[in-house]
Amino acid sequence: MTQDRDHDVPVRIGNCSGFYGDRLSAMREMLTGGELDVLTGDYLAELTMLILGRDRMKHPDRGYARTFLRQLEDCLGLAVDRGVRIVANAGGLNPAGLADAVRALADKLGIAVTVAHVEGDDLLPRCEQLGLGTPLTANAYLGAWGIVDCLESGADVVVTGRVTDASVIVGPAAAHFGWQRTDYDRIAGAVAAGHVIECGTQATGGNYSFFTRDFPDLTALTHPGFPIAEIHADGSSVITKHPGTGGAVTVGTVTAQLLYEIGGARYANPDATLRVDSLELSGDGVDRVRIAGGRGEPPPPTLKVSLNSLGGFRNEMTFVLTGLDIDAKAELVRHQLESSLAVRPAELEWSLARTDHPDADTEQTASALLRCVVRDADAATVGRQFSSAAVELALASYPGFTSTAPPGDGQVYGVFTAGYVAAEEVPHVAVHADGTRVDIPPPSTTSELRPVTEAELPEPGSFGPTRRVPLGVIAGARSGDKGGSANVGVWVGTQGQWTWLAHTLTVDKLRELLPETAELPVSRHVLPNLRALNFVIDGILGKGVAYQARFDPQAKGLGEWLRSRHVDIPEELL
């Protein structure tokens, strides 16, 4: 499975996983659907590290994504036959253990492969020394050069722990072309390509705002194909997919994914900082979008550290309120439940979702949902003591009393925080198939991450009559979680629409449209090349995904809520 280096031919890097639990058949689909040089998979997320941490507590020899092994059992021989190398961060908290498991699997299957791994990201034993507290997991986001070293040593399969999502793509590209560590523009271009394909089918029509417009036959989205990045020696790329697969690759689908879970115009990675505002997108044929113009800068001097802790115990009850007097019913049951609790939990939160409609023709559409969430360090306080107290009100509360679930015990919840550690404090080790250990040095040149000077806005347009319609008539959006914060990227398709959007959708306007953000810090970042704005909303997700501060704990629907809000849009732009 070795490859000759040819700088005139792009390296074709496919993706077969966007998260732990993604489509199990994707590895086989990618290996049989067309030509590939490298197949990658992203199995890790902030929440996944917590899940793997709890798995490791029960089984110290685990802590990795076991579905990756199931995929390899089916596909390892196929990859060898086709000369496709595999790079994945499925090692999670135990990359050495996963590497051993892959070797054992290959022996069982009678397949000769060399397996290497990358480690050093796990900082848990040194947390106190590094000032990181006492978390359950503590993993620094490593870069791509350990992967490069493993591939250059001849590895057919490379598994890593917590590297950045893009690193599993940057590493194969850098190894293929022989890039140097100061080739910042090239590395940044690969970071952009990696950021687009690391979330799998989100680049090919999944979770896409304009799906009804761009996929009038919705059966085209039944089984979207996974994406491929054809990366060139200069760092530019073409995003595509195997022919005949579902979904589509368009400038819109690529724009949406570029905006996913980013901050400002500088997108920091351990090997280079990508200037997102430098990227230029253009069509390159059917299901082909070119990403060019990427500029890179030295990486920041620190590495981000994913810190997951067990925050305590959590429980919830949801009451169904039907018909008339919804507010009074909610007030009654809230007073009754709080008065009946022998011990008040440390956190007790109520939220009323007015999903009811007047004069509704079904009982469900006549009903609202009242949700009570409790958290406490003591399991008993939020366990049966809480949920049984709620159920005991069944014959003594509002008319039509019902709830959505029986009483149950509280469940452990997690808390995510981000730490930062100087890059030179974090070991980065490539472990070859023969056990040779190679220390990967930190970057020799770094640059503090600073906000860019806001891009110049287009001259305000002179538009005619307006019509009050949802913002989403002309604007797409993609949103997601960044620890306890969330981002919402918003883009439009024409220059006229961009002129209007850039001057209309201010921070104040966003707060007006999304009242939940009114008291939170919000920053706006302008990306003219993408005709896009990115908003970062600090604190809207509380203490991270596992904390479940909102009913949408990962903020995946936040952008679609924004698109649904009505604004006055010039008719000529509709």
- Whether pTM > 0.85 for this model: the answer is yes
- What percent of the chain has a predicted confidence (pLDDT) above 90? 92
**Which phi and psi (to 5°) does residue 212 adopt?**
-70, -30
Instruction: Report the pLDDT value the prediction gives residue 443, as an integer from 0 to 100.
Output: 97
Give the closest residue to 173 by CA, choosing from 235, 238, 226.
235
Q: How confident is the model at residue 47 (pLDDT cuts 50, 70, 90)?
A: confident
Name the residue among 531, 555, 530, 418 with its Cα closest to residue 478: 555
* Those residues with Cβ within 8 angstroms of residue 83's Cβ, 6 or more apart along the chain or in another chain: 1, 3, 37
Tokens of 313: 């115990």
The pLDDT of residue 1 is 40
At 406, the pLDDT band (50, 70, 90 cuts) reads: confident
| Residue 124 main-chain phi, psi, to 5 deg | -55, -45
Q: Average pLDDT in the 343-356 region? A: 96
Looking at residue 546, what is its pLDDT?
85
- What is the C-alpha separation between 295 and 277, in angstroms, rounded? 9
Average pLDDT over residues 471-486: 96
Residues 6+ apart with CB under 8 A from 394: 401
Task: Work out the angle between the directed axes of helices 145-152 and 167-177 (0-180°, nearest 10).
Answer: 50
Model confidence pLDDT, tens digit, residues 126-161: 999 999 999 999 999 999 999 999 999 999 999 999
- Does pLDDT of 462 surpass 50? yes
Nearest to 114, CA basis, from 85, 143, 73:
85
Give me the DSSP letters along 160-188. ESSB-TTHHHHHHHHHHHT--TT-HHHHH
Query: Taking 50 as the threshold, does the pLDDT of residue 336 lie above it?
Result: yes
pLDDT in tens, 257-280: 999 999 999 999 999 999 999 999
- Of 130, 257, 272, give the one whose Cα is nearest residue 198: 257
Q: What single string gives the DSSP state of each residue in 129-141? A: HHT--S-SEEEE-
Amino acid at 354: R
Half-sphere exposure of 399 (CA within 13 A, CB side): 5
Q: Are 438 and 429 in contact (CB under 8 A)?
A: yes
Per the structure block, which two tokens stand in for 318? 């949801």
The alpha carbon dihedral of 442, 445, 448, 450 has a sign of negative
Cβ-in-10-Å burial (0-12, 13-18, 19+) of 359 comes to: exposed
Domains in the chain with CATH codes = 11-306+418-439 (no CATH), 307-415 (3.30.70), 466-573 (no CATH)
pLDDT for residue 6: 61
User: What does the alpha-carbon distance between residue 482 and residue 486 come to, in Å, rounded to a whole number?
Assistant: 5
pLDDT tens-digit map of 88-122: 999 999 999 999 999 999 999 999 999 999 999 99
Quote the pLDDT of residue 5: 55
207 within 8 A of 200, measured Cβ to Cβ: no
Q: How confident is the model at residue 2 (pLDDT cuts 50, 70, 90)?
A: very low
Q: Mean of the pLDDT values across residues 293-315?
A: 96
Strands (E), 247-300: 266-268, 273-275, 280-283, 289-292, 295-297
CB 159 within 8 A of CB 100: no
- Residue 363 burial by Cβ neighbours in a 10 Å radius (0-12, 13-18, 19+): exposed
pLDDT at 408: 87
What is the per-residue pLDDT for 455?
Answer: 85
What is the overall mean pLDDT for the chain? 96
Give the H/E segment covering residue 96. helix 95-109
What whole-number percentage of the chain has pLDDT above 70?
Answer: 99
| Model confidence at 3: pLDDT above 50 | no
Q: How far is residue 201's CA from residue 199's CA, in Å, rounded to a whole number?
A: 6
Do the Cβ atoms of 122 and 132 come closer than 8 Å? no
- The arithmetic mean of pLDDT across residues 51-60, rounded, is 89
Neighbour tally for 523: CB within 10 Å: 15
